[in-house]
Structure 1
Amino acid sequence: MVADRGGPLPTLERAWELYRASDLAGAEAVARAIVQRAVLGQQAALAEAAHLVGVILAQTGRTEEAVSFMARAADADPGRASYHSNLCEMRRQTGDRAGAVAAGRAAVAADPAYAAGHNNLGIALFETGALEEALACYGRAIGLRPTFAEAHNNLGNALRAKGLPGEAIAAFRAALAQRGHYPEAWNNLGNVLRETGDFREADAAFHTAIAQRRDYVEPYNSLALSLFAQERSEEAFAVLALAISAAPERPEPAFYLAQGLLNERKAEGARSACQRALRANPHHVPTLVLLARILRDLERGDEAIDAARRALALAPDDLDALNVLGLLLMETGDLRGACALFERALANDPASVNSRINLVAARKVRPDEDMVTALESALSAETGEAERIPLHYALGKAYDDLGRHAEAMDQFIAGARLKRAQLTYDEPAALATFDRIRAIFTPAFLAERAGMGDAHARPIFIVGMPRSGSTLVEQILASHPAIQGGGEMDLFHRAVNRIDQTFGGMVHYPELMHLIERPEMAEITSAYLDALPARAPGKRLMADKMLNNYFYLGLIHLLFPRAVIIHCRRDPVDTAISCFSKLFRDDLPYSYDFAELARHHAAYAGLMAHWDEVLPEGTILPMDYEAVVADIEGAARRLIATCGEAWDPTCLKFHETERPVRTASITQVREPLYATSVGRWRRYGPAIQPLLDALGR
């Protein structure tokens, strides 16, 4: 924004003297007085005074009022390009993009040789998405004034948005050649270099920007993102701490800090960082959306929904807010509400891939919609492997819904191949763990430690392979008035790990068992029971559905001899296919390769056979998915009786029970029981023969 000084009327001279002396209040008062008493024939004085008031208002943060004065100046002297150009920038800052473009066009029409007018019009066009026309405006501005550093910088931004990083880098370097002390251009240059993988040069650019302006928060954030990309998280956290100190009124550094902590699986720290960001700006929508995701991970569903709704109230069309609230509603069983949000997101942005993927997960794809075509187009256009993975799984699910099962499996195989390539999985070490557990938990070992546990506690443990019917079993239990479903709680592992740390982290489970005596057993017991969520009124029992607690069943029996252990089983091929066709939120590295999946299943089955052999008869209740489907009431009665509770018919209405469900069975468990998943593997034909061979079928 530039103040364009006009004619030398005495009162205007006084206003300009005050302005040059930094007495903005005095200059504004004089200029306002001129505007108020201007009469016909004094249009030039009126225009200049209104222009000066507009500039002062903009400089002091009163942009809305500034627009009205600058518009008055432009109306009074329509031939002055600078007035229209300033009006263009002011309208842009207030969000009036159409008005900004109109004012910018008026500026270049009034004076085609006015470089600043072309530059400001280019900025306004850039924000409307008119990249080609914006590029042309910046080019004209530079042609008129080759030393115009801002225009070179803006050209770089447009070229970056157009996907031309090399040309963008050249434009930013041209801007810096004209003005070396230009922190914004250094930051922009660094961002493009970071995106091209040139982290060394990018970080140097960010450091230069920070050195030139210590309170400019953007290069701190950019440097932190670069360090995160290089897996230098501790350095990134330190940079963000500096950014918070440099600009405590800005929410972005704490927001990025929260993102980084969440990626490090430090959800509580991430939640605290979000609260810090919201103290700086309670209306920062990205932070509210991130907070909703974090609270979701922390199993604080009601608070997560509240944060998502706050974000959506502030930005009704925000795609991230619509999607995170939709996922939260899915988990509470409000599938209709979730679908409405995903559909609303797609209506706002039909190109939103995440919204489309979420909608496919929330309901069956219908033959009369273009969902498959849209997913196929998105997949063909996407070049990034990480972005292609969820598209393969979504398209596979869509094909499955439409009965195109062979095509579905092709997509699952393609997605699994890409996903497996991203994972580090030491299969020999993983499989050896099963052998080590069997070697230690012998009958003699268990007999030596009998009687060391809590003889009264009755926790419920549901174990088994993923996709083995465990969510259905938990939902039946949670429908009983006395039983609360806790979901997948990683509490027992954490309790054991505390003892691991007590011994310096040098000896791990299962060998750790050789060092555990009665005090350590009591510590694990109390640590687990104390960590269980508070039970709702009337609930006496808590069901823990952390499926891989099958690693600990010998220890669980020692600690809780009255524990209810339910082993969910399902046809191995159906189990494997159901795992293979899901993109899990938490990586199960063995589930993306047929042979690895089969070997893991064999190791798990061998360990469960070992527990059946060494633990007292009746300790583990087997619950076969096929038997549950065939006789839901008989299965439900066995479950409730094993838990020591009286039968309640509400257990047969499990699909009506309102409680958060976050597993891959999130939609199926909201429906009445169906048998279509029994023998599912037979649909897929020759493509799954390697799996059948690996499973010995």
Structure 2
Amino acid sequence: MVNDELSALKASFDRAKAFLNAGDPKMAEDLCRKALSQVSNGEPNTQVLLCVALIRQGKSGSAVKRLKHTLRMFPDFAPAHEELGNALLAQNKPEKALACFEKAIDLNPKNTSALITLGQIFKGLGRNEEAQEIYQTVLELDPIQEKLATATQLFYKGNTEEAEKICREALQEKPDDVNGLKLLASIASKMEQKEDAIILLQRAVELKPKFAGAWAELAEALSDTDEFGKALDAAQRVIQLQPNLPFGFMLRGTILGQSGNHEGAIKAYREALKIEPNHIGSNMGLGNTLKTIGDYEESVSAYKKVIEVQPFFAEAYWSLANLKTYQFDQKEITQMEDHIENPEIPDGNKAFLHIALANAKEKENLFDEAWHHFDAGAFMRRKDEVYDSVQTQTTHDALIEVFNKEFINEKRNLGHQSQAPIFIVGLPRSGSTLIEQILASHTQVEGTKELPDLSLLTRKLTKSKPRGIKFPNAALEMNNDEFIEYGESYLTTTKRHRTGSPYFIDKMPNNFANIGFLKLILPNAKIINACRHPLDSCISSYKQLFYKGQSWSYDLFEIGEYYLEYDRMMRHWHNLFPGEIMDFHYESVLEKQEIETKKLLDFCGLEWEEQCLKFYETKRSINTASSEQVRQPIYKGAMYAWKNYESHIGELIETLSPLLNGLNDDAKPQSLRK
């Protein structure tokens, strides 16, 4: 190759590798293919990088074919042997992969990554002595690398505790290893220890100021703790280090969106797309932000751009379905059905396709077909979730034990006396967004979003008490002054979401579990419990893929148990705070909109305003699955929608029967009617 060709190929290779390292294997694939189309000899480094991108997309079959072809041309190219082994492992063929790694090591005996994987294959095949010999070799070559590689693999398999242990061992030997610091930070973030992650990442960028990946993770961690100014500064460092790549601008868009600056977010995403118009992450971020502000047509265009660029990108189909009002055409339905049958698409991605298809079938009233896809999607997602129903019950037992009548009566008037907060609690998909939109249409009330502040305060309380005393027991250790201090802290941290209205809404549904703590630090706060028919509430959650959390919602039995736990907690709070919590029933507002709206405003101490009946005309950002639905007038079609699936939910009906038996006959399943 001439020098110009070599230079261009290296530039393309470096750019593709940057996309791959940033978690965008599709863009890396496209760049590699484009580069290879312009050279004559199938340059092996780019071929192998292309195959790594294919493997990360779940296309191991395509990678195997290409790598075998590459090895026919370059039989002694060690990276190709190693990646062929990785592709075969992805196909669950460890015996065949073993020979590839052995060949890679023959060609490069100091290849620690190949040695580590070979050792794991030996161990998986029960050849423990050979595995031990391999691990000993790696330890002699690079003990830190061996430990970090093992920790990384454990982390990606979901074994965070063991990964953390091994990573800490490595850092004890080499405290300034920036890759180790970054990995430990990723583990801390996964375990919701954001403050620890920030400290680790700050150390990593201090040691290596040009470490763009660490700056990016630092920006994300800071944003997750609502340190938006600092997060934007970190994102700016990514932009400065990688001005010709879209990642820094995409990150800036994400942070601005999280902070509520949606116009700024859109501008940042468009800057990213000027650099790389086909960038998946930036197009998805743009679509999500446009959806949040109610720009339906433009959000659809952004999602369709993703599908045009990457027809296999399942989340884009789901995002269209998640608009709730989008109608798939037959071509799109056929595409999704074909993708589901594609063995190279991982189950985690197929979950998105199943739920999108289910929504399409539901709109055609093909309820049996729809349920098949809802069920399949939930099953696939459940495999990636961790949920322990016993832990939920234990947590609720502790809350009930701590926040009892005696403790509440002793401490109930010590908190901050502000009447500004209005809390909407309950389960997801139970009408909370509708309640918020009605209230936010009032001139005295400001809608915000699902705020994490109350939950963060419970963590702060745990950290402030002696080691081993965790929330809720930590509440028993609070002195009288702390109740008003924690109420003041909540009001201070939530100011960033407010613009000055007398009242504001916190719509975090999961706050239902912490009502006892909430009423002690903010005794005058209004609390509205979003209620819906138990089966509608549960089925609507089952049909939804949540961005994060709600891990109980992908199994019908677990959903039923969780609903009973929610009901148990709400009965406890009603008993402790009679008349201080309003149950707002979704079905009632559909039938008697004006009457129920007046009751809602009265409970909140608000004067009647006619525009609360025309909530769908209120222009504001809404970042939930119901965003498009509450921009339309009251629609009764979702009431008792569970009846469409009654023949499929016998297990759920049985679990909820203690509650369902108390309903009127027209609200009961056929099996429970007299």
Q: In structure 1, what is the equivalent of residue 537 of structure 2? A: 575
Aligned-pair distance for 1:591? 2.2
Q: What does the per-residue CA deviation read over 1:64-97, in whole Å, with 9 as the maximum and x for residues that have no partner?
A: xxxxxxxxxxxxxxxxxxxx55554344346598
AA aligned to 1:674 is Y
Residue 464 of structure 1 pairs with residue 426 of structure 2 = yes
Q: In structure 1, what is the equivalent of residue 560 of structure 2? A: 598
Residue 543 of structure 1 pairs with residue 505 of structure 2 = yes
Given candidates 664, 667, 692, the residue that maps to 2:625 is 664
Q: For the structure 1 residues 448 and 189, does the alpha-carbon distance in structure 2 shift closer, same or farther, using more than 3 Å as the test?
A: closer
Q: For the structure 1 residues 156 and 541, does the alpha-carbon distance in structure 2 shift closer, same or farther, using more than 3 Å as the test?
A: same
Aligned-pair distance for 1:521? 1.0
Aligned-pair distance for 1:343? 0.8
Q: Does the residue aligned with 1:565 lie in a helix, a strand or coil?
A: strand
Q: In structure 1, what is the equivalent of residue 6 of structure 2? A: 89
TM-score normalized by structure 1? Answer: 0.71
In the alignment, the residues of structure 2 paired with residue 93 and residue 416 of structure 1 have an alpha-carbon distance, to the nearest angstrom, of 43
Given candidates 405, 411, 430, the residue that maps to 2:392 is 430
Q: In structure 2, what is the equivalent of residue 651 of structure 1? A: 612
After the TM superposition, which residues 107-506 of structure 1 pair with which residues of structure 2 at under 5 Å, given as runs? 118=41, 120=43, 136=69, 139-140=72-73, 142=75, 151-153=77-79, 174=103, 177=106, 186=111, 189=114, 225-226=152-153, 228-229=155-156, 231=160, 232=163, 236-238=179-181, 248-249=209-210, 251-255=212-216, 274-297=235-258, 301-364=262-325, 366=327, 368-382=329-343, 384-506=346-468
In the alignment, the residues of structure 2 paired with residue 469 and residue 645 of structure 1 have an alpha-carbon distance, to the nearest angstrom, of 20
Q: Does the residue aligned with 2:414 lie in a helix, a strand or coil?
A: coil
Q: For the structure 1 residues 206 and 685, does the alpha-carbon distance in structure 2 shift closer, same or farther, using more than 3 Å as the test?
A: farther
TM-score normalized by structure 2? Answer: 0.74
Q: For the structure 1 residues 208 and 312, does the alpha-carbon distance in structure 2 shift closer, same or farther, using more than 3 Å as the test?
A: farther
Q: Does the residue aligned with 2:450 lie in a helix, a strand or coil?
A: coil
In the alignment, the residues of structure 2 paired with residue 338 and residue 640 of structure 1 have an alpha-carbon distance, to the nearest angstrom, of 33
Q: In structure 2, what is the equivalent of residue 74 of structure 1? A: none
Q: In structure 2, what is the equivalent of residue 638 of structure 1? A: 599
Q: In structure 1, what is the equivalent of residue 481 of structure 2? A: 519
Aligned-pair distance for 1:599? 2.8
Q: For the structure 1 residues 228 and 266, does the alpha-carbon distance in structure 2 shift closer, same or farther, using more than 3 Å as the test?
A: farther
In the alignment, the residues of structure 2 paired with residue 342 and residue 196 of structure 1 have an alpha-carbon distance, to the nearest angstrom, of 40
Between 400-409 and 249-258, the greater mean CA deviation after superposition = 249-258
AA aligned to 1:320 is G
Verify the 8 A CA contact 1:168 1:192 in the aligned structure 2. no
Q: In structure 2, what is the equivalent of residue 614 of structure 1? A: 576
Verify the 8 A CA contact 2:536 2:639 in the aligned structure 1. yes
AA aligned to 1:567 is N
In the alignment, the residues of structure 1 paired with residue 504 and residue 372 of structure 2 have an alpha-carbon distance, to the nearest angstrom, of 40
AA aligned to 1:388 is K
Q: For the structure 1 residues 362 and 518, does the alpha-carbon distance in structure 2 shift closer, same or farther, using more than 3 Å as the test?
A: same
In the alignment, the residues of structure 1 paired with residue 315 and residue 112 of structure 2 have an alpha-carbon distance, to the nearest angstrom, of 29
Q: For the structure 1 residues 190 and 415, does the alpha-carbon distance in structure 2 shift closer, same or farther, using more than 3 Å as the test?
A: farther
In the alignment, the residues of structure 1 paired with residue 400 and residue 454 of structure 2 have an alpha-carbon distance, to the nearest angstrom, of 19
In the alignment, the residues of structure 1 paired with residue 507 and residue 565 of structure 2 have an alpha-carbon distance, to the nearest angstrom, of 20
Verify the 8 A CA contact 1:479 1:650 in the aligned structure 2. yes
In the alignment, the residues of structure 1 paired with residue 570 and residue 584 of structure 2 have an alpha-carbon distance, to the nearest angstrom, of 13
Q: For the structure 1 residues 521 and 197, does the alpha-carbon distance in structure 2 shift closer, same or farther, using more than 3 Å as the test?
A: farther
Q: For the structure 1 residues 207 and 592, does the alpha-carbon distance in structure 2 shift closer, same or farther, using more than 3 Å as the test?
A: farther
In the alignment, the residues of structure 2 paired with residue 466 and residue 485 of structure 1 have an alpha-carbon distance, to the nearest angstrom, of 17
Q: In structure 1, what is the equivalent of residue 640 of structure 2? A: 679
Aligned-pair distance for 1:634? 2.9
Root mean square deviation of aligned Cα = 4.3
Aligned-pair distance for 1:588? 1.9
Aligned-pair distance for 1:677? 0.6
Aligned-pair distance for 1:338? 0.9
Q: Does the residue aligned with 1:676 lie in a helix, a strand or coil?
A: helix
Aligned-pair distance for 1:275? 4.2
Between 447-456 and 576-585, the greater mean CA deviation after superposition = 447-456
AA aligned to 2:619 is E
Q: For the structure 1 residues 195 and 643, does the alpha-carbon distance in structure 2 shift closer, same or farther, using more than 3 Å as the test?
A: farther
Q: Quick one: percent identity of the two aligned structures?
A: 25
